[in-house]
Structure 1
Amino acid sequence: MQETVFFDTMRQGLWIAVIISTPMLAVALIAGVAIGLFQALTSVQEMTLTFVPKVGAMLVVFWVSMSFMSDTLVDFFTTRIIPMIAGG
Structure 2
Amino acid sequence: MDEALFYDTLRQGLWVAFVISIPILTVALMAGLIVGLFQALTSIQEMTLTFVPKLAAIVAVFWLSMAFMSETLVSLFKDTLVPIIAGG
TM-score, with normalisation over the residues of structure 1? 0.99
**Residue 25 of structure 1, CA deviation:** 0.3
CA distance in 1, matches of 2:82, 2:71: 15
The corresponding residue for 2:40 is 40
The corresponding residue for 2:59 is 59
TM-score, with normalisation over the residues of structure 2? 0.99
* SS of structure 1 residue aligned to 2:45: coil
Q: How does 1:1-88 map to 2 (within 5 A)?
A: 1-88=1-88
Unpaired segments ≥5 residues, structure 2:
none
The percent identity for this pair of structures is: 64
**Residue 37 of structure 1, CA deviation:** 0.5
CA distance in 1, matches of 2:19, 2:85: 24
Q: Over the residues paired in the alignment, what is the CA RMSD in angstroms?
A: 0.3
CA distance in 2, matches of 1:78, 1:62: 23
Instruction: In structure 2, give the amino acid aligned to 1:3.
Output: E
Aligned length: 88
Unpaired segments ≥5 residues, structure 1:
none
* SS of structure 1 residue aligned to 2:65: helix
**Residue 49 of structure 1, CA deviation:** 0.2
